[in-house]
Amino acid sequence: MNEKTMGAIPVSALERLEQSAVKLSLITFCLRHEELKAAPDAAEIHSIKSDLSRALREVITNAAACALTGGATEKASPPAGAEPKRIQRKEIPKGTAYGVLRLRCPKCGDVFGRFLREPSASVTCRCGGEIQLDNLTRYEFTCPCCDFEARGRTNLEDPEITVPCKCGNPVTMKWDRNKRIYHE
């Protein structure tokens, strides 16, 4: 390992996390006490938040890896002659869907989210309306607040759709007819 570590966590990740936290807390302090002559640039605040969340994710990932491996951070090599594991993808029957879905009920018009663990051909709304999952369109976005990357499928056909991120921030996406997908 070329990088210094503190336990299993690289020191550079901890330093970046600390620097970003200090910058953000300084801006917050100045805003609370109205000591800034001009409002901070929104892009700068977003950049600091992104750095902070990226460094925090790296620290959490490394700490979790350390906890799982009992402190060993390097990957164990497979035994000699062992074949690497292959991920088996299950076949999805045509006309079905699973995962994150954003749907509009044709009966009541209600728009709601649903997560399906297993492929299904239809979903039932609270009103009792049946929603067929055979003609769904993809959507994907990166939340501007928390940098969470999300993707899913929808039956909405509007030029713009709004989907709430897991952090609660509503993200509006536009239809791209060339790519046949909703995105930012």
Give the type of residue at 150: A
Q: Where are the beta strands (DSSP E) in the chain?
A: 5-6, 9-10, 97-104, 111-120, 122-124, 130-132, 137-142, 149-154, 160-164, 170-176, 181-183
The set of residues, in sequence order, having a beta carbon less than 8 Å from that of 98 and lying 6+ positions away, is: 92, 116, 117, 118, 119, 120
Chain segment 84-126, per-residue pLDDT in tens: 666 566 677 788 888 999 999 999 999 999 999 999 999 999 9
Q: What is the pLDDT of residue 91?
A: 73
Question: What whole-number distance in Å separates Cα of residue 156 and Cα of residue 139?
Answer: 10
In the structure encoding, which two tokens stand for residue 183, read together?
Answer: 């995105």
Chain segment 162-178, per-residue pLDDT in tens: 999 888 889 999 999 88
